[in-house]
Amino acid sequence: MLTSKSGRKHAAMTTLVLSAATVAIYGCGGDNGNQGKQADIKSMTGNLITVDGLSFKDLNHDGKLQPYEDWRLAPEARTSDLLSRMTPVEKAGAMVHATPPSAGTVPGGGSSWDMAGLGQMIGQQGINSFINRLAGPAASLADQANQAQIVAEKSRLGIPVSFSSDPRNHFQTTAGASVDSSGFSQWPETTGLAAIGDADLMRRFGDIARQEYQAVGIQIALSPQADVSTEPRWSRINGTFGEDNQLTKKLVQAYIEGFQNGADGIGRNSVIAVVKHWAGYGAETDGFDGHNYYGRHLTFPGNNFEYHLLPFTGAFAAKAGSVMPTYSMPPAGLLVQGVTGPLEQVGAAFSKQMLTQLLRGRFAFDGVILTDWAVVEDCDNACMNGTAAGVPPSFIGFGTPWGVETLAKSDRFLKALDAGVDQFGGSNEPQYIVDLVNAGKVSVARLDQSAYRILLQKFKQGLFENPYVDTAKATQVVGNSGFQSEALDAQRRSLVLLQNQGAVLPLKTGAGKKVYLYQVAADVAAQYGFTVVARPQDADVAIVRVSAPYQTLHPNYVFGAMQHEGSLAWTDGQADYEAIKSISSVVPTVVSVYMDRPAVLTNVVDKAKAVVANFGVSDKALFDVLTGAAKPQGKLPFELPSSMDEVLAQKSDVASDTAHPLFRMGFGLGY
């Protein structure tokens, strides 16, 4: 006899429904522990069971209702039952968060996956978590997710797949950090949302992105970044909320509440938020990034580690489902409250102090610890030293095992498991975990701890009942006009007016108003009544769009070739700066700077009449503000230094500490 949570008994006799695809939808459904209300279920293989007039999925294909298949039971009970049926191979498979095979130049990217290869990973290796880097129409993304779920439904235990994604709703696209917006509603970078500083808007963004993710079958968001950008040269500032740790805490909490559909943790309408990068990632030495061997070091000259921990408390208050440890290694001798002795100089995924003592202990986190990508992979000579001149870098031979480079791969897995890792991001090789079990180095009970946390979230999300999405609905949801209208409004609100000499803004429009444009769409300017001219000397005003300065200092490293590094100051010879100089010398000029890092504007404000900082903005939203149809409301989420000498003198772990900033954090004019 089967017994539900409340003790009511149900007849064991079952009926197998033979239709190829059946959807059972009765009322409110899916109550997790409540009886008498039919859950919303969908099977694409026809494996349904009827018990007491209610429908259930026959996930293990035996024609009987097993406890883990019974949606009336609590997720915890179902998870325990499923674990009891899994082999060590299947448990190890659940503990890797793999990259699906595809034809894309970026691993897991392109427009479709290799379903045969994906089927092998699901069916033979037991893998059921994958990153989704595909780009394309919403219906195509939804269809790819559904095809993968059909493969999973046919597997031995029918465990559904969970797909994750890096951020998709912004402007900048960098492999390993973000995905092309590809039709999703397009919002300013999170630095721009920080410039607005509105927790309610942040929560609404998360809610909209959640709906778009769910529409295409994405159940996990590899975001937000709770890192504080105290090092102004850092390559990943545009994914943060700036350098104010209290503001970051507030917005991280709201972001997660939006994605997870409330403040009560994971539920049926949640997209799991993976808060990252635990911890101190914003204090990178020289601003280099931890994806790179040369950027693997953190620095805390101001002994300010606690400042970097505080934003994560907002994530814990929102009951974030997962935490991702940082790649980078702490400096020697760093002491942290709640940790025994100085931190070991290894990436946080290998640090028992960081994960077990600090995260699980001091902060009592009980969700999933998911490593960043490729931490157990080898970093070959090209990965460590860069490719030879003329040889383009690639992802082949790329790994991020910082601090444990000399360990064998199996020993990296062992050290990370001992540290407290639940799931290995970017690994397609669960066999290493199985081998550790077979060698007696890791117990099956240790696997159970991690597999339980991972599978429990799938049950709470309702994936065992219905992991499928509606391809037609996906087209209606993703990037719909209502969502995009809200995104455009956020773009407008995020703009920071830094200078407005002679009240040149808002621009006066009307017949005959002539404008010269640099990196601005002429058709958009025409919509606002401007006549676009070919020479700046023929214009009444010029509008110039540029990006914050950067250098490509490490072109022979796969991530160094993509990331913005080095000086924040414009110098003679740079194309954007030459444009600013030449144009402003003959016509009043408005300059808008995309601030993916804090630019030094000292030699720009002395040339431009008006300067507007943006954090990802369309020409339309920009013109709305420049013409006064909307007003600039943003405040700088970080200070803008006055010189590179002062940047070099500041402490990488301390916020707002250049001696004479040109514009202080929180600055912003209006009109």
Return the active site residues.
244, 372
> How many CA atoms, within 13 angstroms, populate the side-chain half-sphere of residue 613?
38
CA proximity to 599, closest of 531, 536, 550? 550
Q: What residue has token string 């808002």?
A: 506
Residues 568, 597 contacting (CB under 8 angstroms): yes
CA–CA dist 177, 509 (Å, integer): 40
Residues 432, 128 contacting (CB under 8 angstroms): no
CA proximity to 240, closest of 159, 302, 326? 326
| Residue 527: partners with Cβ closer than 8 Å, 6 or more residues away | 620, 623
Q: Letter for the amino acid at 598? A: P
CA–CA dist 117, 102 (Å, integer): 9
What is each CA distance from 44 to 161, 293, 469, in whole angstroms? Answer: 14, 45, 12
> How many CA atoms, within 13 angstroms, populate the side-chain half-sphere of residue 530?
27
Residues 541, 532 contacting (CB under 8 angstroms): no
Three-class HEC string of 396-422: CCCCCCCCCCCCCHHHHHHHHHHHCCC
- How buried is residue 560: exposed, middle or buried, by Cβ count under 10 Å (0-12/13-18/19+)? buried
Residue 24 belongs to what H/E stretch? strand 22-24
DSSP state of 352: H
CA proximity to 532, closest of 611, 623, 631? 623
